[in-house]
Amino acid sequence: GVPLDFAAPNLNKPATVSALLNYFTIFGGGFYVGYLGSRELFLEKRFSVEFLMAVAAIGAALIDYLLEAATVLFFYALAEHFEDQIEDRAKRTIEGLSQYIPDTARRLQGTVEKEVHIRDVLPGDTILVKPGERIPLDGRVTDGTSYVDQSIVTGESKPALKRRGDDVFAGSQNNTGPLQLRVTKVGEETLVSRIVRLVIQSRRRKAHLETLVDKFAKIYVPVIILLAVTVGLLFPVFLGGDFRTWIYRALILLVVSCPSAFILSVPATVFTSTTVAARNGVIIKGGVYLESLQKIRSVVFDKTGTLTLGRLEVTDIEYRDKTRPVLNYAVALEKYSTHPVAEAMVRNAMAKGLDIPATRAEEVTEIPGKGVAGLVNGRKVAVGNTELMRESLAQLGSDLDETTKCDLHSRICVSIDGAFAATICLEDKAREDAAEAVKRLKEERIHTVMLTGDTEQIAKKLAQDLRLDEYRAEILPEEKQRIVDELRRKYGPVAMVGDGINDAPALAAADVGIAMGGSGVDVALESADLVLVKDELAKIPYLLKLSNLTMKIAKQNIAVSLATKLALGALGLLGIAPLWFTVVAGDDGVTMLTLLNLIRLTRLRD
């Protein structure tokens, strides 16, 4: 029979233009790629993919396999191009966020409007943003109501309604009405700037699987080079055959064993995953945390500002005197205060469409720790806690506690002209997606725990409403870290979700710390490993799914790469697979396959 040995085409007399082009491609491209590989070899003391490809291409040319040598370089360059395109696109997606931030802002000084560079704006300044303009700096709305498109920052598809007391982010677009903002963050401290910085920095924190691949590659490449030299120089001596055939097969071994797809598989998968997460409103500070997520067995939630909104809302008004506009009078006093209770009452009045400015307040007096009093439309009005009411109203007896329904909530009393008029009940409500997030975590057999300094009664009710597995009430901030360690010993790796300064030690102690980015303070964001830009708890189950899929794809890519190379290496040594085919199928083909496999990450939904 005819032996299965792919010889080179008859190009031993390169007298054509095509042959000259082949020479130019081989030696020009080969020496350039060789230069890159040699630089890494001598300066960084490691063998690289470029070094292997250059040796294979130039070696093939020297034994007159010109077409195949050119093919090696062409497909290698093509694969590198697509690899760079995918990575550059991911980087541009994140870095391009900065382009949405305007260079100037309209600063208000009294009633005077002045356009200044954003570098000249300080925290606490008031700026004006008109409809159709992008918001230049992070701030809190002090006046106006408008729908704001925050998609580039938070990933939400619909514009959000912003009114007094709401936070807005630089780069968002104001759509429908003018907004006055009190600036809270400037320059590199704005949320969008921190997103860009954190994602870029995340590439430095490699996953354990990435580190393992890097270590393997450092040993793998020298071993392959030694094996190729053995095949090319010793196999002809011990197994017979001419040197040209065995050198050709040694070059096949070099190309097949080129670890570009293997080395690329994990970092490309991790970087794509962190970019996808960023586009969906989650910042992952490094591949190591993405990898750790798949091991999480329990999730610990802080209560206030995490499971709850962190701001009081009016839940009920119990009127004793229905003949008077109690809420109008109360809000007329409270609108001058920045206390959370006052802000809740103002929001409730605005939601009901009350004309707050029409109700005039005079002689407003703040009573520390108790409430506020003053004249509203000529009437004496007091708004405060039960202690203030009992001090000022002798007719109020113990029946106040018996008649109110605010047993588990904050209560504010209102008196008008010395007579008790109403009790206003306020509550820190649970986030809309909290129950759904807990449900999905439990479906994945993740143990859920809530930590709070609130009373046992309040904690128990919220835990029951959200169907949490466990809660700890009346705990001190320093106890959170101890509880995280206790849960780790009992259930395994722990994720901690929090938003405040008192959460920082627990966030740092957890296997994965998750900060609420929208309302979180700087120390919490710095202590955490992940940041939920839009404070969406439903993103946590999504992150667990993303982590599992990321590691699954990374391992698939490694397995396919190694299996393909082993098979083609064996075929090459037997003389069955030619050099050009091993390039297309064994290295560049597998590289392209691993990159295409990453598309699955972009299709993952919450």
Active site residues: 302
198 closest CA partner among 554, 552, 532: 532
The phi, psi pair for 549, rounded to 5°, reads -70, -40
CB 171 within 8 A of CB 129: no
C-alpha 307/C-alpha 538 separation (Å) is: 11
Q: Give me the torsion for CA of 519, 523, 529, 530, rounded to 10°.
A: 10
Helix (H) or strand (E) run with residue 492 in it: none
Task: Produce one character per residue of 357-392: b if its CB has 16 or more CB atoms within 10 Å, e if not.
Answer: eebebeebeebeebbbbbbbeeebbbbbbbebbeeb
CB 172 within 8 A of CB 135: yes
CA angle 520, 447, 304 (to 5 degrees): 30
Query: Which 3 state secondary structure label does DSSP give 366?
Result: strand
Q: Which amino acid is at 437?
A: A
The phi, psi pair for 378, rounded to 5°, reads 85, 0
C-alpha 184/C-alpha 121 separation (Å) is: 10
Instruction: Tell me the pairing of strands 447-451 and 298-302.
Output: parallel
Biggest alpha carbon–alpha carbon distance for the chain: 116
C-alpha 137/C-alpha 186 separation (Å) is: 6
- Return left, alpha or beta for 442; rule: phi > 0 is left, psi -120 to 50 is alpha, else beta: alpha
C-alpha 383/C-alpha 413 separation (Å) is: 6
C-alpha 135/C-alpha 358 separation (Å) is: 31
Query: Which 3 state secondary structure label does DSSP give 28?
Result: helix
